Amino acid sequence: MIIASQYARALYSLVKENPKTGKEFLTGLRAALKRRGHEKLLPQIFTEYKKLEVAGERRAQAQKVTPERERTRILFELYKKLIA
């Protein structure tokens, strides 16, 4: 796994748990990157973080129960019972 993606996953999980303190996490991340000499990774970390956000949004959208999905689920269950 790439170092940038590890930083992004750690940041994403922290921000997901405590969204109000996200700014503090960013300043801490920047300080840690500066100490370790990884400041060049910031654009890659940002890109990976955006990917994680988009994936989370898509996951939430896919899990959302809509009236069409509920109707399809019921019809599928009735079809299974009819076939069996």
For residue 1, pLDDT over 80 is answered with no
Axis-axis angle for helices 3-17, 42-63 (nearest 10): 50
Residue pLDDT, tens place only, 20-51: 888 898 899 999 999 999 899 999 999 999 99
| 4 within 8 A of 41, measured Cβ to Cβ | yes
pTM given for the model: 0.74
Cα–Cα–Cα angle for 54, 60, 63, rounded to 5 degrees: 140
Q: Which residues are CB-contacts of 22 (< 8 A; sequence separation ≥ 6)?
A: 14, 15
